[in-house]
Amino acid sequence: MKPFKVLIYEDEDGWVDGFKFILVPRLAAEDVKLVVLHRTGPSSLMQDLEWLPDLIIVDHDLDLDPYFGNELITQIDGDPQFKSLSIYYCSGGESIESLRKFVKDLKGAIYCYTKQGDELGDAVFAKGKTV
């Protein structure tokens, strides 16, 4: 199985467990092994990036430094080892439009999703199939 490494910044362990519960079998059917590194805060960003994730998911409601997105983009911008890295910014309570306003000034590709419904899971699944 090909590993698909997802770095998740999320303060709700239950959400991460549910995320894995839904996606592990879907990706396994595609011969992809979901490997998750879960953090509840950004304090280990440099160390986390050394893990070379394929995808980063950042929860909007996480009590982060407001400049965390800028710091994250600065660390990966122009680095060839991160050229195919995607960042998914999500929230359980905010609309996609409000999430887009929050990240609009960040350079780089950041995709916004809500946690409701299947859109985020489907996007992660589609990305995982490409590793």
Output the domain CATH number for residue 38: 3.40.50.2300
CA 12 to chain centre: 14
Residue 101 has pLDDT above 90, yes or no: no
Question: Could you please report the per-residue DSSP string of 90-113?
Answer: EESSS-HHHHHHHHTTS-S-EEEE
Taking only the tens place, the pLDDT of each residue in 48-99 is: 999 999 999 988 877 666 567 667 877 887 788 888 888 898 888 888 998 8
Residue span of the structural domain in which 22 resides: 2-128
Number of domains composing the chain? 1
End-to-end CA distance of the chain: 11
Residue 105 has pLDDT above 70, yes or no: yes
Helix %, strand %, coil % of the chain (to 5)? 40, 25, 35
Mean pLDDT estimate for the chain: 87
**pLDDT value of position 64:** 60
Q: Give the global pTM.
A: 0.90
